[in-house]
Structure 1
Amino acid sequence: MRRIWELPLLVILTGVGSLAMLLPAAHAAVFGNFTVARPFFYGAVMFFIFTVLLGIATDNYRTKIAARGRLVALLGAYLWLPFLFAIPFSEALPDTTFVNAWFEMVSSFTTTGVTQYDMPGRLSPSLHLWRALVGWLGGFFVLMSAVAILAPLNLGGVEVLSNRVPGRSARGVEQITHGAGPSARMVRHSSKLFPAYLGLTVLLWVLLLMAGERGMTALVLAMSTLSTSGITNGPGSASGSHLSEVVVFAFMALALSRRFMPGAVQADKNRTLWNDHELRLALGFLVVVPVIMFSRHWVGAMGVEELFNPMAALKALWGGLFTTMSFLTTTGFESADWQEARSWSGLNSPGLVLLGLAMMGGGIATTAGGLKLLRVYALARHGEREMNRLVHPSSIGGGGDEERRLRQGGAYVAWIFFMLYALTFSIVIAALALRGLEFDQSLILTIAAVTTTGPLAVLAAETPIRMIELSMPVKAILGAAMIVGRVEILAILALLSPNVWRR
């Protein structure tokens, strides 16, 4: 086993991906759908043999530059694994192209969750299971890469707290990790993370079954919630009961802070849960956004007959609260009462609200995408401090060394990331516009891809954008944007840094 865990990371991930194909194969075989079962079973056998041969060939390979090896393995996983996952998917769905299958797997593995197959009955239950499983594995890979690859290199949001140069680890950490490749580190950390990740998924699955959801629907929702992929097994598959939404709401809160997951990144261990910056900022959004939408009913002078309808008011308030949490964590689930909330607030298409929430994102070192709440908090505190200095130029900012470091060096790095974020948006929007898309479509698709919040393509626009109607170059651009948004542009720039290649 020790020899296996010392293999290159891509070899291990290929083996795990090939074994994962046995689950949809078994599911399809149980229900007699051998047209779907055969491609996944043959794919599992073929790719596992390929993994064994590749493992023998690379048994003695050891990267000489630890930092470069970790970042290359991270980026290589997002470039290679979607092709691996797309092969049995395209074979099991003969009336689709491989590009469409690749795009679907990129969307699933990056936990974006946007789908092209939105017609009821277009995909069999086993293919929906495969999409959810790939998204679930992608969510766990995000957690593993955050703690084993990005955090030691001062990336992924940790740079806001550490006050060190992004892409360069501390001296003690570099000495510890120099001899450990990404495979060994990820295997070591998975012993803490995977039992909790799997256990929470099973727990949510059981709770959803108790709430009245069907077996496959409950499993897909459980895996999609923990991975924040927002994948469902077809439109209208969930029962839409309020009890199910309450359970999902509670588990979506796990993506607001890394503190809820054992073995995750703990850059500020001394801070209590109540004083966590990300949780307090998220709580502010969860209070302000639904209240503003709820109070707009009277500000906008809506119908008099609805002013004293308590049931409609409660549904509107819950619909706004659930959807705010969903898009703040970049999951993308829509509450059954979201239409009620829209009608109550008088907003025909509150797309800007959803786009803004998705751009904020969840906590660092979680499965959520977006800018991340800690970076937003650092920029907000820096702006608050600058406003105070305009009034009191000789004042001294309090809060201790940690708060001063967050307002100064942390805000500086967060601002750099924000500018790179905006630059990425501009490039992708321009590329989509050159392919003939309208500006509003380009904007929504770009934010949906970079923030890994795929349901924005349906809910943020006045008319839902059908992904199956997009051209092949547009899908290639969006696929690349999903990978960049998931890896984060700062990590890609760190990989291109000459310092990384010299060490």
Structure 2
Amino acid sequence: MLDLRPVLFALGSLVCMLAGGMAVPVLFDVLAGNHDWEIFVLSGFLTITVGGMFMLANRGTGDALNLRQAFLLTFLAWAVLPAFAALPLAFSELSLSYTDAYFEAMSGLTTTGSTVISGLDNAPPGILIWRALLQWFGGIGIVVMAVAVLPMLQVGGMQVFKAESFDTVEKILPRAGQISAVISGAYVSLTAICMLAYLLAGMGAFDALAHAMTTIATGGFSTSDASIGKFDSFSIDMLATFFMIVGSIPFILYLQVLRGRPMALWRDEQVRGFLKLIFFLCFSVVSWLIIWKGFSLYEAVRYGLFNIISILTGTGYATTDYSQWGSFSATLFFMVMFIGGCAGSTSCGIKIFRFQVLLKSMKSWIDHILQPNGVFVARYNGRPIPLDVRNSVMSFMTLFLATFLVLTLAISSTGTDWITALSSAGTALANVGPGLGEDVGPAGSFGGLTDTAKWLMSVGMLVGRLELFSVLVLLSPRFWRA
């Protein structure tokens, strides 16, 4: 029988930490004279009460989790925390239904960026900063999970990073907890640098803080319905583009740079592949906008670079309604949303390394077919790719496609058109943000979907953020057996 006590104790501590975060929007609402601060106080009290009960009822059970408990905690943390994070949204002056509030909270913590809220320009400051905080908390949670949890669970080929990440960093810090703390420090520092850059570019202090948190987290929540386009500034667009890329690079490599290895970023095969892909996509989009859409070089660079990188990194910011650019851009953006950034970053999607492992494995198989007696070893970052990593990546890609098709059919059964269903399923599973079309595209919101579709998308966001296997393994009866 699976011992749930250590899991519930750890879950209670995370719920209490979330309650502590509610003090931040209380401060902003009090300073602004908005009465929603009372909602955050009550929500925080309820949240810390439940979290404290979990901790007190299961104290003394130890903090060492086995493999099955780690799987369960990973799932419960990302499923339960949005339930409490949704409370201020549901009872605020926005008057959201609990379905909408949970959708918004899940979108925030998974750094998806899809929203059901319209009228953000007039929303209370506490709500705006709470949405940004949720994405910021989710971003650091994703990085720590990618460094310390998913490699241990061997999810989707992530075990390829286990020896590399921990062997390298253990020379600096001996414990995974210390590694997480240092990564968190880098995360906070990059957020502060991003905020300072936004301030210098002309953003107000509040907007700079909120957007810095959601940029580094590659989340995409904004303080305006017009997103980054509200500021109509080339410098802000380019700064956001740069920091979206920064948030999509493995944070573990920033530690190596700080330890005197400035070439660590370029020597990493995943980062090289990611930067090359960015160059190719940006060149293609800019050229297409100039040749076929009559954009000037300035317009093509400003709008093309920003929006394609926003989709690639899963951030979901927008400066213009790119769905109006034609079928080519819609198709390209739809395909790109599934790629994502690097493993070990705040980015989402399938991840660059899986495509690299898949292509290298295919090349070795083709070489073996051409020369049956030859020995061909697929390598990643100079190391042979183990067979279990190849199998995990192949399984992940297959399962991702199957889950995407099932989710699309489920959403379409609620009465949505096929473009909305297809893009809604894709943006949820890939944790991107905006979809395609007038309703859920960059100029719309997901508020018009049925409650059933929103719950389906919430499940899709959860499954996509936890790399599929972390959730689906819980459905196996073998998991629950002693």
Give the drift of 1:208.
0.5
2:9 is aligned to 8
Q: TM-score, normalised by structure 1?
A: 0.82
1:134 is aligned to 134
Separation in structure 2 between the aligned mates of residue 48 and residue 298 of structure 1, nearest angstrom: 55
1:177 is aligned to none
Conserved in 1, the CA contact under 8 Å of 2:89 and 2:96? Answer: no
| Range with greater deviation from structure 2 (148-157 or 23-32) | 148-157
Conserved in 1, the CA contact under 8 Å of 2:341 and 2:352? Answer: yes
Separation in structure 1 between the aligned mates of residue 443 and residue 298 of structure 2, nearest angstrom: 27
Q: TM-score, normalised by structure 2?
A: 0.86
Separation in structure 2 between the aligned mates of residue 463 and residue 502 of structure 1, nearest angstrom: 46
Separation in structure 1 between the aligned mates of residue 211 and residue 65 of structure 2, nearest angstrom: 40
Separation in structure 1 between the aligned mates of residue 110 and residue 479 of structure 2, nearest angstrom: 25
Do the aligned partners of residues 247 and 477 (structure 1) sit closer, same or farther apart at CA in structure 2, a change above 3 Å counting?
same
1:152 equivalent in alignment to 2:142: no
Give the drift of 1:122.
5.3
Do the aligned partners of residues 148 and 155 (structure 1) sit closer, same or farther apart at CA in structure 2, a change above 3 Å counting?
same
Separation in structure 2 between the aligned mates of residue 57 and residue 410 of structure 1, nearest angstrom: 40
Spell out, residue by residue over 1:258-291, the C-alpha distance to the aligned partner (whole angstroms, 9 max, x if none): 1555569xxxx9x943232222221222122222
- 2:338 is paired with a residue whose SS is helix
| Range with greater deviation from structure 2 (441-450 or 77-86) | 77-86
| Range with greater deviation from structure 2 (113-122 or 451-460) | 451-460
1:207 equivalent in alignment to 2:197: yes
| Range with greater deviation from structure 2 (215-224 or 381-390) | 381-390
Do the aligned partners of residues 24 and 162 (structure 1) sit closer, same or farther apart at CA in structure 2, a change above 3 Å counting?
closer
Q: Which amino acid aligns with 1:289?
A: L
**Gaps spanning 5+ residues in structure 2: where?**
1-5, 168-174
Separation in structure 2 between the aligned mates of residue 186 and residue 12 of structure 1, nearest angstrom: 18
Task: Give the RMSD, CA atoms, in angstroms.
Answer: 3.4
Separation in structure 1 between the aligned mates of residue 136 and residue 437 of structure 2, nearest angstrom: 22
1:433 is aligned to 412
- 1:273 is paired with a residue whose SS is helix
Matched-pair identity in %: 23
Conserved in 2, the CA contact under 8 Å of 1:227 and 1:367? Answer: yes
Separation in structure 1 between the aligned mates of residue 476 and residue 254 of structure 2, nearest angstrom: 32
2:20 is aligned to 19
Aligned to 1:242, which of 220, 234, 246? 234
1:283 is aligned to 275
Q: How many residues align?
A: 464
1:316 equivalent in alignment to 2:295: no
Separation in structure 1 between the aligned mates of residue 388 and residue 269 of structure 2, nearest angstrom: 16
1:32 is aligned to 33
1:167 is aligned to none
- 1:151 is paired with a residue whose SS is helix
Give the drift of 1:73.
1.0
Do the aligned partners of residues 157 and 118 (structure 1) sit closer, same or farther apart at CA in structure 2, a change above 3 Å counting?
farther
Give the drift of 1:429.
0.8
Separation in structure 2 between the aligned mates of residue 319 and residue 328 of structure 1, nearest angstrom: 14
Conserved in 2, the CA contact under 8 Å of 1:208 and 1:247? Answer: yes
Conserved in 1, the CA contact under 8 Å of 2:132 and 2:210? Answer: yes
Q: Which amino acid aligns with 1:320?
A: G
Conserved in 2, the CA contact under 8 Å of 1:252 and 1:325? Answer: yes
Do the aligned partners of residues 390 and 206 (structure 1) sit closer, same or farther apart at CA in structure 2, a change above 3 Å counting?
same
Q: Which amino acid aligns with 2:74?
A: L
- 1:361 is paired with a residue whose SS is coil
Separation in structure 2 between the aligned mates of residue 144 and residue 162 of structure 1, nearest angstrom: 13
Where in structure 2 are the equivalents of 1:94-173 lying within 5 Å? 95-121=95-121, 123-155=123-155, 157-160=157-160
Give the drift of 1:428.
0.4
Separation in structure 2 between the aligned mates of residue 188 and residue 411 of structure 1, nearest angstrom: 30
Conserved in 2, the CA contact under 8 Å of 1:14 and 1:47? Answer: yes
Where in structure 2 are the equivalents of 1:447-466 lying within 5 Å? 447-457=426-436, 466=445
Aligned to 2:402, which of 423, 430, 449? 423
Separation in structure 2 between the aligned mates of residue 33 and residue 46 of structure 1, nearest angstrom: 21
2:222 is aligned to 232
Give the drift of 1:434.
1.5
Give the drift of 1:12.
1.1
Q: Which amino acid aligns with 1:202?
A: A
